[in-house]
Structure 1
């Protein structure tokens, strides 16, 4: 603070040095001042200036601290408070408050617009789900089995896109929407596999699923969304007539791990650090028009919100293993206490 004060008052110090030089020049040139001691004059002026500088340092540091404290607290009315700040600082603070008020007004307007857009998007998604459900029921009446399988696959892809958009819209309010409870992994995983049945039949994808008898504490709806995104990627990038392995284990800390292993094309090493970034499709995604780069991004962000950690191991040509690590009991308590 002292260095800051001295730098702020360099003009004062320079002016004082100029006065001292002028006094010494006058004493040297004016014969009428020969009877006065020049050292006495210099010391007197220097002591007076030092006392004045110390006094201004104490006053202005107090004013500065009061000013900064009031900026942080964003006072509603500077003039109605008994503040130890200078008139200039009062003007600064008033102007800052005006700017903050204008920005807060703009921010509130943007929030209202964003909420309106979110509500409209949610309404649109729910409207789209109704005809999708009707189309799914109509598919049962298609007699041509091959055609029905193709239509079911395309319907499933469309359904997954709508579902992804629905959860992306709800993501901003996930803290209000989640509900932690003990669930059995098998229930969630099997339900998502059944939902992918048409797509799997078309590509000849099979599943080798472990018993999955472990219970974990999490939100079943959001966990299902995470599993859905990983399974859809596994099916999308796996070759025909391949198999997806799903199994669990317990790590050294006692946490439950859910592994989903595919035999797909794999992920390049340079792509691995970025696969959870928004809209990043990677090398494989650029070769597929179906890739949006949103699935893993949403899955990763949802997982962080409910305490699940997603990791991936992959190499080109050898498939990928996505691992979900569920929080321990003490980690879960920290999560719910945030």
Structure 2
């Protein structure tokens, strides 16, 4: 604070030094002042200036602390009247109040518009889900098996896009929409595999799944969404007639790890640090029009919200292993206490 005050008052210090230099020159040139002690005058002026600076330092630093404290808090008339400010400071203060008020008004309007847009988008997604459900039921009546399989695969891709948009809209309010319970991994994984059946049949992709009898503390709905995004990526980038391996293990800390391994094209080393960034499609994504760069971004964000840590190991041509680490009991307590 002292250095800040000195920098603020450098003009005062410069003017004082200028006056001292001028007086000393006058004492040297004016013969009428020969009898006056120049050092005595200099010391008196220096002491007086130091006392003045100290007084201004105490007053102005107190004003600054009061001012910053009120700016950081919600300003009101009582606080404004309690501040002891100089005319210039009062003018600054009034201007800052006006700017804060205008910006808060703009921010509130933007929040309202964003909420309205989010509500409209959510309503649209729910409206789209109804005809999708109807189409899915109608597919069962198509007798041509080949045509039905192709339509089911395309329906699934459309359903995944709508589902992704639905969860993206809900992501901002996930804290109000999560329910942490103890559940078996088998249920979440097998349900998602079953949902991907049409796509897997089209590409001839099979699954090698362990028993998955482990129980974890998590939110079933959001865990299903995370698994869905990783599985859809694994299916999308795996070659035809290949297998996806799903297995679990326990790390040295006692946490449960769920691994999803594919034999796909893999991820380049330079892409790995950025695969969870929004809209980042990577090298592989530029070769596929189906990539949106949103799936892993949303999965990673959801995982962070419910205490799951996602890591990935991959190399080009050798496939990828996505790992979900579920929180321990003490980590879960910290998570629910946020």
Same fold (TM over 0.5): yes
List per-residue Cα deviations over 1:205-245 (Å, max 9, x = no partner). Answer: 11111001111110000000000011111111111111111
Which position in structure 1 is the counterpart of 2:28? 28
Secondary structure of residue in 2 paired with 1:81: helix
* Structure 1, unpaired ranges of 5+: none
Superposition misfits of 4+ residues, deviation over 6 angstroms: none
What's the RMSD between the two structures over aligned residues?
1.4
Which position in structure 1 is the counterpart of 2:228? 228
Which position in structure 2 is the counterpart of 1:137? 137
Deviates more, 1:41-50 or 1:127-136: 41-50
Q: 2:310 aligned with 1:310, yes or no? A: yes
Compute the displacement of 1:8 (Å).
1.6
List per-residue Cα deviations over 1:287-310 (Å, max 9, x = no partner). Answer: 111111110110011000000001
Cα pair 2:70 2:79 within 8 Å, conserved: no
Secondary structure of residue in 1 paired with 2:82: coil
Which position in structure 2 is the counterpart of 1:114? 114
List per-residue Cα deviations over 1:269-293 (Å, max 9, x = no partner). Answer: 1111111111111111111111111
Cα pair 1:78 1:90 within 8 Å, conserved: no
Which position in structure 1 is the counterpart of 2:332? 332
Cα pair 2:279 2:292 within 8 Å, conserved: yes
Task: Normalising by structure 2, report the TM-score.
Answer: 0.97
List per-residue Cα deviations over 1:146-196 (Å, max 9, x = no partner). Answer: 001101110011001000010011111100011100111101111111111
Secondary structure of residue in 2 paired with 1:284: helix
Which position in structure 2 is the counterpart of 1:266? 266
In 2, the alpha carbon distance for the partners of 1:34 and 1:263 equals 99
Which position in structure 1 is the counterpart of 2:15? 15
* Structure 2, unpaired ranges of 5+: none
List per-residue Cα deviations over 1:83-135 (Å, max 9, x = no partner). Answer: 23322222212211111111111011011011111111011111111111111
Cα pair 2:247 2:258 within 8 Å, conserved: yes
Compute the displacement of 1:318 (Å).
1.1
In 2, the alpha carbon distance for the partners of 1:41 and 1:289 equals 84
Compute the displacement of 1:79 (Å).
7.0
Secondary structure of residue in 2 paired with 1:313: strand
Secondary structure of residue in 2 paired with 1:57: helix
Secondary structure of residue in 2 paired with 1:88: helix
Task: Normalising by structure 1, report the TM-score.
Answer: 0.97
In 1, the alpha carbon distance for the partners of 2:99 and 2:306 equals 37
Cα pair 1:237 1:265 within 8 Å, conserved: yes
What pairs up with 1:186-201 in 2 under 5 angstroms?
186-201=186-201
